[in-house]
Structure 1
Amino acid sequence: MCTGIIGVGVLVSAPAVAAPATPSSTASAVGTELSGKTVFLDPGHQGGAHSENLQRQVNDGRGGTKNCQTTGMTTLDGVPEHTINWKVSELVRSSLESLGATVKTSRADDTGWGGCVDDRARAAGESGADVAVSIHADSTSTTTDADKHGFHLIVPTLPIPSAAADAAQSEGGRSASTLMRDSYVRAGFEPANYAGVENGIQERSDVAGPALTTVPLVFVEMGNGSNPDDAALLESSDGQLKHAIAISTGIIDYLLGSDTAEASSAGPATTTAAAPAGAKTTDITVPTATAPSTERSAVEGRSALSGLLESVSPSVESFGVDGLRGLVTPDNVSSVSTFARGLLKQILADR
């Protein structure tokens, strides 16, 4: 989906050492709203071209051990989770880099190795990221399970033995996870109705990543690959983009916080961009560029910038990813915000 958007450059020589991702010539930052912010993305699991022992025991962060890694689930139509995670992560990376953020990741591609769970947690901590996001998809059966559906965020049972991890996850991690949950709900996703999930949040003590990560961590389970509706979104380009927008807006809300009352009440102006050729007559409404407030309110919440990104979602649902090409034609380019235009160009580059 995003071949050619972003070049290689994540973990260099060892999974525990993260390096900044290097954009390709087709993807240049078009904004500065997230300049100075660093995000660590962990597309869960790994490709099949590796010889690592997944059963090797590693530190679980709570005084015990667990398997180095798992293979991940496979959707009803045979799409491996690691590929879904990778494609969504690359789209998230594109959107954040288009705003000037530095993005580091746990693996360089969707073929090789990305590290054990403890390696990835260590890399996240050593990256100095403002927030880390581990991107996964769930499964409840090897066959169709139409009754269980929805997304959820995994948060660790507190306290965590590591004081640094406990501080990171009890404060920033919980806040970031809640904002990500809210972003998913706004995007039209339903919280999971299984496994003890409450309002999109599932508390667990058996997941090593959150117990080992010393920067705020968001652990996303995008949906249930055993459920036909969830699987359809996870497998499709349009669905992956919808997930990526929800994840990106959750990250932006955490990094920027809500705007001041004055900025929020004013709201962004909107313009109407022409619909893509061959599409229905419904127009696409896109907010014009509005600088987000530099102040941070006492209560974290939705930022104007995340609202701008979310404005792309209705167009995805109406016209599909390929239909969005109509938003970046010479005739209507001036009516689309600088940010939205840059993001769309990166998403569509070399598809």
Structure 2
Amino acid sequence: MNAVRFRRRALIASSVLASSVLVGGLLTVAPTEAAPKSGELAGKTVFLDPGHQGSAAGHDLAKQVPDGRGGKKDCQTTGATAVTGKAEHTINWDVSQLVKAALESKGARVVMSRNDDTGWGGCVDERAEAASRSGAALAVSIHADSTSTGADSSKTGFHMIVPTLPIPDKTVDSVQSGEGRKASNTLRDAMKKAGFAPANYLGAVDGIVTRPDIAAVNLTRVPAAFIEMGNLSDPAEAAVLSSPQGATKYAVAITEGISAYLDGHAAAANPTAPAPDPGAQPSAPAAESPSEGTDLSGLSGVEAIGPLIDKLAKAKSPQEAQRILMTDGQDVSANVLKAILAVVYAVFGGKLPI
């Protein structure tokens, strides 16, 4: 079989697993067969929580529920709105759907906290309980931050939220201070490897912010990582997060971080490090290398995917997109091809150009 025919078959196989379409402004993954029984993540379960939801769906969002610290907090919110006008809950949903497709193509079983972007997804404590019941090797909450109702270009970058220790529940404390912190460090390193800068606000220390108030980690009995992908108040980051191309780039980085953690290449935790001082001057957003001890050698596709996505977005026709995929696409690892196809679907109205 010649190289072109092989690549063509690989692309078609990827589209079956993770073809995505843009429908009514929402990026959704088309129904697929059950996750493959083989693959590097076969036998692993991942719980994905696209933060917030589109509506109350008849529920009381202000109902007080446990926060994991002996207090109470609101059941749920619909989240922030980017300065582009796109809702955070939809941005979180778009990225999560691509991550889901990517993980399933690697053989993982994925459990979602909510099944769509319009209905009910549960209170924060219910989502934590669902994650715990799922028996997942890792639970990941995907969010985007907002610092102002207007534009705020002074605060930029992603951050991982880790819990203030100790957590009252001893089981949760043991899990989150150990494996939870390892997972957070590994996702942070994958984001940096993919070119995303750590946050320059909230007293973030190399992309890590310590907080006591996040029920998603305070109540979850499986390793949990909580990511704020960027600041929706910053026009530049909001534009990237609001676009199909941007959603794909974030999804690839998050998928690679999850995969690295599940493959056992997790960064060493530092659970005894002091909580950052919110009033302190933040460290500069680094061009630093990932933390020592993290093996991210599997990120071979990340460096190539950005330029490829940009070329596909500028393609004038399905034929030109096909040519780009068959040439530049050969240098991208197979495990990210399905994310690239999501962009092609969005650009060409749901028609795969092969």
TM-score by length of 1: 0.76
- Candidates 6, 9, 29, aligned match of 1:6: 29
Offset of 1:246 from its aligned partner? 1.0
Question: Which letter does structure 2 place at the counterpart of 1:257?
Answer: G
Offset of 1:206 from its aligned partner? 1.2
Specify the SS of the correspondent of 1:213.
coil
Do structure 1's residue 24 and structure 2's residue 24 form an aligned pair?
Answer: no
Matched with 1:130 is 137
Matched with 2:295 is 301
2:61, 2:76 within 8 Å by CA — same for their partners in 1?
A: yes
Greater shift in the superposed pair: 189-198 or 340-349:
340-349
Matched with 1:167 is 174
Offset of 1:6 from its aligned partner? 3.4
Do structure 1's residue 316 and structure 2's residue 309 form an aligned pair?
Answer: yes
2:35, 2:108 within 8 Å by CA — same for their partners in 1?
A: no
Question: Which letter does structure 1 place at the counterpart of 2:89?
Answer: H
Question: Which letter does structure 2 place at the counterpart of 1:302?
Answer: L
Matched with 1:142 is 149
Offset of 1:346 from its aligned partner? 6.2
| Number of equivalenced pairs | 295
Offset of 1:188 from its aligned partner? 1.2
1:49-68 matches, within 5 Å, as: 50-68=57-75
Deviation digits for residues 146-195 of structure 1 (CA, Å, limit 9, x no counterpart): 11111100000011111121111111110111111111111111111111
Do structure 1's residue 114 and structure 2's residue 113 form an aligned pair?
Answer: no
Percent of aligned pairs with the same amino acid: 49
Matched with 2:243 is 236
**Greater relative contact order (Cα 8 A, min sep 6): structure 1 or 2?**
2
Change in 2 beyond 3 A, CA 1:171/1:55: same
Tell me, which stretches of 5 or more residues in structure 1 are unaligned? 8-22, 260-297
Offset of 1:197 from its aligned partner? 1.1
Poorly superposed stretches of 4+, deviation over 2 Å: 1-7, 27-31, 298-301, 306-314, 317-329, 331-351
Offset of 1:73 from its aligned partner? 0.5
Change in 2 beyond 3 A, CA 1:126/1:66: same
Offset of 1:312 from its aligned partner? 2.3
- Candidates 263, 271, 277, aligned match of 1:256: 263
Matched with 1:191 is 198
Greater shift in the superposed pair: 126-135 or 311-320:
311-320
Question: Which letter does structure 2 place at the counterpart of 1:33?
Answer: E
Name the Cα RMSD after superposition: 2.8
Offset of 1:208 from its aligned partner? 1.2
Deviation digits for residues 122-169 of structure 1 (CA, Å, limit 9, x no counterpart): 000000100010000000000111111111000000111111211111
Offset of 1:78 from its aligned partner? 1.1
TM-score by length of 2: 0.76
